[in-house]
C-alpha cells in the first residue's frame, strides 16, 4: 500500500505495555503505512541498579541478585557468578559439584528455550497453543528445580565452591523420566512449527543478520549461531567440565528468525544429550568445597563467562581484598543482542518487527538489571 500512496509517517509505541515485548520493554517506531522507517528502543523500566547494590554485599550475598537478572535462567546466572568468584579466589570445585552444575545449567537451558521457542511461536500468531505446550514441559523442569533447591524460578542453588545442597533421592529417576517427554515436545515443535508452511512463510528471510554484522555487533548465543558462526563458550572455553561431554554446535544457514528458532530447538536436543551423559557418570564425593561465608578473595580482577541460554553471560569482578566486590559488572547477552534491533526492523513491516524482537528472545530483567 505504501508503495502506491504516501501516507503520513507517524510514531507508534510498541510497548511498554504490549503483548509481544516480553516485559516492560518499549520500541518507538516511526511508521510509514505499515513499513517501519525508524526504530528506537527505550529501556530502563526494570532497572534495579544491581551493580551498585552488589558493591555493598558480600560475595555470597550477591548470588540471589544473579537469580533476578535473567529470571528465566537463574541457574545459569548463578553458575556464571560463582565461576567468576572462584576464578578470582583461585578455588576449585569437586567433580560431583561440577557435574551437578552442568546438569542444572542444561536443564535451565531447556526450560529457558522452552519459553523462548513458545513465545516466538506466539509472536508469529500461533495463538497461545505452542506456548502452553512448551510451558507444560517447562513446569516439569521447574518441579525438578523445586525438588532440588526449594525454589522454582529464583533457585539460588549454586554456591562459591560448589552447590548448596546434595541432590535429593529420586532426582536421577525424575530427570530420566522427564527427558523422553522433552524429546517428544521438541519433536512436536519441529513438526508442527518448524515444518509448518505458514510459520516458514512468516519466519524465513525475516530479520536477517549477516555473519559480518553479527560478529561486529558482538552478538552471542543463538543469535550468532543462527547467522552461521560456530561459536559456543561451552566448546570454545569449556568450564565446569564441559570438555568431558559429547555434543555439537548447531548453526544456521542465513541468519534469519527461522534459523534462530531452529537453532534453539536443536540446542535443546543437544542439552538432553549432555544431561544424559552427565547423569550416566555422575561422580561421587562432596558436592562443594568449604568456603568461608565472608569470603575475601585476594585483590585482583577476573572475567568469567558461560554460555547462558541467551548468549555469552560474563561476570567481571574486581576485588580489593575486602569481603565485597569493588566492581561487579554483568555482561548481559540480552542487551547486547539488541544492538542489531535497528538493522533488523528498519524497512520491515510492523508484523516482521515483532518477529524480529521475538527471535532475539530478550529477558527484560537482564537488559535493565
Partner 1 sequence: MSTRWWSSTEFAEFLSKLVPDSISRVEENACYLVPEKLVEAMMALRDDADSNFVHLTNLCAADYWDKFEVIYHIQSLEKNCIASVKVEVLDRENPVLPSVTSVWHGAWLQECEAYDLYGIRFENHPNLTRILLWEGYPGWPLRKDFLTMPGGLQPGLNEFAGTAAKPEPPVHTVE
Partner 2 sequence: MSGFGITVAFWILAALTLASAGGVMASRNLIHAVLFLIVAFLGVSGFFILLSADFLAMAQIIIYVGAISVLILFAIVLTPRAERDNSETSMVLPALLLGTTLAAVLLFVLYDANWNVTNVEPGLSAEVLGSALLSVWVLPFELASVLLTAALVGALMIVRRQEDEEGDSAS
Partner 3 sequence: MLSFLATDHWYDLRDLANLYRVVLEGLDHIFPTGLVYVLTALLGFIAFFVVFVLPSQLYVGVYGERRLIGRMQARQGPNRVGPLGLLQPVADAIKLLQKEALTPRSADRLIMWAAPVLFVAPAILIFAVIPFGPRMVFADIPVSLMYFLAISSLPVIASFMAGWSSNNKYSLFGAMRIVAMSISYEIPLVLGLLAVSVLSGTMSLQGMVYWQQDIPTWMILIQPIAFAVYFIGVSAELNRTPTDIAEAESEIVAGYLTEYSGMRWGLFYGMDIAYALGASAFAATIFFGGWSLFGLEQWVPPWLIFILKTYLFYFVFIWTRGTLPRLRIDQLMSFAWKFLLPIALINLLVVAVERLIWTSNDLPDAIVWAFGAVNIVLMVGIVFIWAKVFKYDPKKRPTKPRLVNEPGGYRPVDLEQGGPSL
Interacting residues with partner 2 (CB under 8 A):
3-5, 7-8
User: Shortest approach of partner 2 to residue 6 CB, angstroms?
Assistant: 8
Site for partner 3 in 200-219 (CB under 8 A): 200-202, 204-205, 211-212, 215
Interaction of residue 127 with partner 3, rule CB under 8 A: yes
Kindly state whether residue 133 participates in binding partner 3, applying the rule CB under 8 A. yes
Query: Residue 56 binds what, of partner 1, partner 3, partner 2, none (CB under 5 to 8 Å, by partner type)?
Result: partner 1
Q: Cβ closer to partner 3: 146 or 195? A: 195
DSSP code per residue over 176-210: HHHHHHHHHHHHHHIIIIIT-HHHHHHHTTSS---
Indicate which single residue of 217, 348, 354, 357 sits in contact with partner 1 (rule: CB under 8 A).
Answer: 217
Q: Is residue 118 at the binding interface for partner 3, with CB under 8 A as the rule?
A: no
Supply the minimum distance, in Å, between the C-beta of residue 39 and partner 2.
Answer: 23
CA–CA gap between residue 149 and residue 146 (Å, rounded): 5
Report yes or no: 48 and 369 within 8 Å, Cβ to Cβ. yes
Contact between 135 and 154 under an 8 Å Cβ cutoff? The reply is no
Q: In what order do the strands lie in the sheet with 35-42?
A: 9-14, 26-32, 35-42
Question: Cβ of 360: how many Cβ atoms within 10 Å?
Answer: 26
Task: Sort strands 26-32 and 158-159 into parallel, antiparallel or unpaired.
Answer: unpaired
Sites for partner 1 among residues 101-140 (CB under 8 A): none
| Partner whose footprint covers residue 8, from partner 1, partner 3, partner 2, none (CB < 5 to 8 Å by kind) | partner 2
Contact 58, 293 (CB under 8 A): yes
| Comparison of 7 and 183: residue with beta carbon closer to partner 2 | 7
Q: In Å, what is the CA distance from 91 to each residue of 83, 140, 234, 239, 292?
A: 9, 33, 20, 13, 12
Coil/strand/helix, residue 304: strand
Site for partner 1 in 238-257 (CB under 8 A): 238, 243
Return the SS3 of 212.
helix
Binding of partner 3 by 42 (CB under 8 A): no
Q: Is-contact 123 355, C-beta < 8 A?
A: yes
Nearest approach, Cβ of 15 to partner 3 (angstroms)? Answer: 10
**Interface with partner 3 (CB under 8 A), residue from 92, 183, 184, 248:** 248
**Residues at the contact surface with partner 1, assessed by CB under 8 A:** 43-44, 47, 49, 51-52, 55-56, 213, 215-219, 229, 231, 235-238, 243, 299-301, 303, 305, 312, 314, 316, 318, 320-322, 324, 326-327, 329, 331, 335-336, 338-340, 368-369
Amino acid at each position: 500500500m505504501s508503495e502506491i500512496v504516501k501516507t503520513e509517517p507517524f510514531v507508534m509505541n510498541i510497548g511498554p505495555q504490549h503483548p509481544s515485548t516480553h516485559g516492560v520493554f518499549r520500541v518507538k517506531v516511526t511508521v510509514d503505512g505499515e513499513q517501519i522507517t525508524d526504530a528506537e528502543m527505550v529501556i530502563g523500566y526494570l532497572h534495579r541498579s544491581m551493580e551498585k547494590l552488589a558493591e555493598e554485599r558480600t560475595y555470597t550475598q550477591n548470588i540471589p541478585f544473579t537469580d533476578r537478572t535473567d529470571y528465566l535462567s537463574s541457574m545459569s546466572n548463578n553458575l556464571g557468578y560463582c565461576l567468576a568468584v572462584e576464578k578470582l579466589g583461585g578455588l576449585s570445585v569437586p567433580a560431583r559439584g561440577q557435574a551437578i552444575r552442568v546438569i542444572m545449567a542444561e536443564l535451565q537451558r531447556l526450560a529457558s528455550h522452552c519459553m523462548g521457542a513458545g513465545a516466538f511461536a506466539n509472536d508469529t500468531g500461533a495463538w497461545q497453543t505452542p506456548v502452553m505446550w512448551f510451558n507444560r514441559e517447562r513446569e516439569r523442569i521447574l518441579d525438578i528445580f523445586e525438588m532440588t533447591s526449594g525454589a522454582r524460578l529464583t533457585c539460588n542453588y549454586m554456591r562459591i565452591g560448589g552447590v548448596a545442597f546434595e541432590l535429593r533421592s529420586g532426582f536421577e529417576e525424575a530427570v530420566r523420566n522427564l527427558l523422553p517427554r522433552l524429546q517428544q515436545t521438541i519433536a512436536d515443535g519441529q513438526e508442527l512449527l518448524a515444518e509448518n508452511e505458514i510459520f516458514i512463510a512468516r519466519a524465513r528471510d525475516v530479520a536477517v543478520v549477516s555473519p559480518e554484522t553479527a560478529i561486529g555487533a558482538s552478538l552471542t548465543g543463538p543469535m550468532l549461531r543462527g547467522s552461521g558462526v560456530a561459536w559456543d563458550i561451552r566448546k570454545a572455553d569449556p568450564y565446569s567440565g564441559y570438555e568431558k561431554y559429547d555434543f555439537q554446535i548447531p548453526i544456521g544457514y542465513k541468519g534469519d528468525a527461522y534459523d534462530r528458532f531452529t537453532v534453539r530447538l536443536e540446542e535443546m536436543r543437544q542439552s538432553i544429550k549432555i544431561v544424559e551423559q552427565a547423569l550416566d557418570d555422575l561422580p561421587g564425593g562432596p558436592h562443594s568445597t568449604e568456603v568461608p561465608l565472608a569470603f575475601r578473595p585476594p585483590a585482583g580482577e577476573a572475567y568469567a563467562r558461560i554460555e547462558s541460554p541467551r548468549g555469552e553471560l560474563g561476570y567481571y569482578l574486581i576485588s580489593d581484598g575486602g569481603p565485597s566486590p569493588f566492581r561487579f559488572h554483568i555482561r548481559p547477552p540480552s542487551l547486547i543482542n539488541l544492538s542489531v534491533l535497528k538493522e533488523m526492523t528498519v524497512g520491515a513491516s510492523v508484523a516482521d518487527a515483532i518477529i524480529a524482537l521475538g527471535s532475539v528472545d530478550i529477558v527484560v530483567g537482564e537488559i535493565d538489571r
